[in-house]
Structure 1
Amino acid sequence: MKTLFFFGTLRHAPLLDLVLGRATAPVAASLPGYRVVWAEGESFPMMIEAPGEQAEGIVLAGLSDDDVARLDFYEGAFAYRLVAVTAQTGAGPVEALVYMPHDAPWRPGAPWSLADWQARWGALTMIAAAEVMRAFGRMSAEDIGHRLPIIRARAQAQVSAAARRRPVTLSSPLTRDDVALDHYAIPYEKFFTVEEMRARYRRFDGSWGQTGDRAIFQVADAVTVLPYDPVQDRVMLIEQLRVGVYASGDPQPWLLEPIAGIVDAGESFEATAHREAMEEAHVELSALHHVAGYYPTPGGVAQYLVSYVGIAHLPDEAPRIGGIEGEGENIRNLLVGFKELVGMLEAGELVNAPLLLSVQWLMLNRDRLRG
């Protein structure tokens, strides 16, 4: 049996219980000679040496080999390893093990607060940790570490959705409380996930009906942005292979699109638009205009998109190839005059839904933007 000292996110009791798969009863403790700080630019803390100070935490005794294996799997995704320390409790010193960074690139940041972390990252981390621990025994910690960004992006999408509210005028007042799950399973979980569910729901007449078996493709929130230069009166389109179009049997699986990308954990829709414009097209946006926020295929895809038109300078010598090669992207950038763009829309050359919305919005607002 082992005793561990926890100084960071695993001090959050629901998270510790989730990782271990059982209820726990830790006791308060401290570790002399250390301080807990944020890992700079990250959503978790790290512990650094600090003579004369002490790191607050908890100790949990009686941990089995299986418990430690579960903890190793979870912490391994964050590049932590166990180190022996002597912690202080109300009953005296305790020999324990603590997870410390191992070959990690993080730099120490500001002092860390459990309460601040709970408010900012607690809900997201619980959702992501549940997916991580479902992979225990099926994947290595290294493999789950590679998937962690998209896992956290999906968790971010769920947190954002829970906070989303829209006006109710003609819409019915029905809510999530008017749905009851009878069956839920996750048969596939990798970069994307597939969920299966069967539910009862309240009908418009007040009675209850059944959905039947449903499969849901779980992605993550995403952003699209159409760069527009009001001086040159032209836009930048991107073109790339889309495997969904290929899988449908379409003989032309390369699509013209706006810039697009998944919203990372902790990132705003606006920040994603600026980041993706630089990554995919090397374009700096001076302003963003909101087109719409919407569910593109709500019958079977769990994803929320936000589309923008972004004001940018688009010179003749704008880069023509973009994307991140390490992510398998090969993106062609095209400068298209407004009149030609409208002609392509009317001819049916544009078939990407966010692009259609964005071009139609631009047609309505072009004079204002140019003025």
Structure 2
Amino acid sequence: MTTFFFYGTLCHGPLLRVVLGRDVQAIPGRLPDHSVFWVAGRAFPMIETGGSGAEGVLVADMSDEDVARLNYYEGGFAYQTRDVIVEAEGAGSVSAQVYFPDPGKWTPGAPWHLADWAARWGETVVTTAYDAMALYGLGDPAEIHARYPQMLMRGGSRVRAEAETPGLHLRRRAGREDVAVARKRQVYANYFAVEESDLRFRRFDGSMSPEVNRAVFISGDATVVLPYDPVRDRVLLVEQFRMGPHGRGDPQSWLIETVAGRIDGGESPEEAALREAREEAGLAIRELIPALNCYPSPAAMAEYLYTYIGIADLPDDAAGIGGVEGEAEDIRAHIVPFSTLMELVESGEANTAPLALLAYWLDRNRARIRSAAGA
């Protein structure tokens, strides 16, 4: 049996329970002469020598299976164990295993505190851990970690889906027992993923369907924002190359769209909308007006869209070339009058569904928005 000292995210009981697959008893502990920091740009911490001491928890009597599960989860983040002496509450000095990052792998950021991490990341990381541990024994931890930012996107999507159930008046109100999954497998995983499930679902006559095979494209939730200047009565549109029309065989694969992007794990839809406006168009949005949230293609895609009108100043020089260079983005922004937007949508030149949705939503609410802006 092995004793472990956890100083970071595994101090969070719900996460440790998912990783180990069982509940354990933990007691407070402290590792002298060490400090804990955020890993710069990441959702987890690292430990370094020096400082006033790292607070955490001790867990004793860990079995070989427990250790294997821990090594699988932590190994993907390039962490390895070392023997240390920890001060345990009520038990004095105790020898324990601690996960340290591989030298030079990560860069320390600000001091890390469990409560701060749990408030922003806790639910998302715990939900994501279910997906990671479902692959225990099936995949290389390093390969799984390479997709971890994308897995966090999906984790965040699940958290929002659980929390945002709308009022139901016409639709069936389903329970967890109304879908029975016999088998689920991930048949493709990169930036996006494809999953297949063998399942049965509740029919409208109350019986369960025969077992069927269904596939779903996993992409994570996205935010969509149409920048609008109510005083000048104009919008900002973006143009870029898109794989969807290219894969369809459309020679006109540069599309007119709204500002849009995936919602990162631990990020809110509003934060993502503001970030994408800065990245794609160098634009500061003053106010986000929620429009319609929706599934664009629910038969085969898990994607969910949060859409907004973004109130902003759009002078003539707001147009230009933008995008994140490190992500190979090449985006051209256009400033057009609202009337031109509607002409583009109705002629079919602007033929993306989120833009059409927001164009018609703005058409319906434009007078109210302009009046509130004093236009």
The answer to whether the superposition gives a TM-score over 0.5 is yes
SS of the counterpart of 2:231?
coil
Out of 100, 108, 111, the residue aligned to residue 109 of structure 1 is: 111
Q: In the aligned structure 2, how far is the partner of 1:362 from the partner of 1:13?
A: 46
2:27 maps to 28
2:311 maps to 311
Residue type of the partner of 2:27? A
Offset at residue 181 of structure 1 (A): 1.8
Query: 2:216 aligned with 1:216, yes or no?
Result: yes
SS of the counterpart of 2:108?
coil
Q: For 1:1-371, list aligned pairs within 5 A.
A: 3-13=3-13, 15-16=15-16, 18-19=18-19, 23=22, 25=24, 28=27, 30-33=29-32, 39=38, 43-47=43-47, 49-51=50-52, 55-61=55-61, 64=64, 71-78=70-77, 80-89=79-88, 90-101=90-101, 102-103=103-104, 104-109=106-111, 111-113=113-115, 121-133=121-133, 134=135, 138-139=139-140, 141=142, 143-210=143-210, 212-371=212-371
Q: In the aligned structure 2, how far is the partner of 1:363 from the partner of 1:181?
A: 43
With the length of structure 2 as denominator, give the TM-score of the two structures: 0.85
Offset at residue 305 of structure 1 (A): 0.4
Residue type of the partner of 1:295? Y
Residue type of the partner of 2:277? A
Residue type of the partner of 1:127? T
Q: Is the 8 A contact 1:154 1:220 kept in 2?
A: yes
Q: Deviations over 1:258-307 (max 9, x none)?
A: 01011111211111110000001111111111110011111110111011
194-203 or 255-264, larger mean C-alpha shift: 194-203
164-173 or 93-102, larger mean C-alpha shift: 93-102
Residue type of the partner of 1:342? M
Residue type of the partner of 2:278? M
Q: In the aligned structure 2, how far is the partner of 1:165 from the partner of 1:292?
A: 14
SS of the counterpart of 1:209?
coil
Percent identity between the aligned chains?
42
Q: In the aligned structure 2, how far is the partner of 1:188 from the partner of 1:93?
A: 47
238-247 or 85-94, larger mean C-alpha shift: 85-94
Tell me how many residue pairs correspond in the alignment.
365
SS of the counterpart of 2:250?
coil
Gap runs ≥5 in structure 2: none
Q: In the aligned structure 1, how far is the partner of 2:317 from the partner of 2:67?
A: 56
Cα pair distance change 1:27/1:271, threshold 3 Å: closer
Q: Deviations over 1:101-125 (max 9, x none)?
A: 4433233336434xx7556544322
Cα pair distance change 1:32/1:246, threshold 3 Å: closer
Offset at residue 93 of structure 1 (A): 2.8
With the length of structure 1 as denominator, give the TM-score of the two structures: 0.86
Q: Deviations over 1:76-120 (max 9, x none)?
A: 44454434320234555332231234433233336434xx75565
Q: In the aligned structure 2, how far is the partner of 1:170 from the partner of 1:72?
A: 48
Offset at residue 312 of structure 1 (A): 1.3
Q: In the aligned structure 2, how far is the partner of 1:137 from the partner of 1:195?
A: 15
SS of the counterpart of 2:209?
strand
Cα pair distance change 1:211/1:12, threshold 3 Å: same
Offset at residue 206 of structure 1 (A): 2.1
Offset at residue 127 of structure 1 (A): 2.7
Residue type of the partner of 2:270? E
Cα pair distance change 1:108/1:67, threshold 3 Å: same
SS of the counterpart of 1:210?
coil
Question: Would you tell me which structure has more strand in proportion to its own residues?
Answer: 1
Offset at residue 200 of structure 1 (A): 2.1
Cα pair distance change 1:298/1:368, threshold 3 Å: same
Residue type of the partner of 1:285? I
Q: Is the 8 A contact 2:3 2:58 kept in 1?
A: no
Q: Is the 8 A contact 1:7 1:58 kept in 2?
A: no
Cα pair distance change 1:138/1:331, threshold 3 Å: same
Task: Say what the alpha-carbon RMSD is for the aligned residues.
Answer: 2.9
Q: Deviations over 1:312-343 (max 9, x none)?
A: 11222224111112112111111122222211
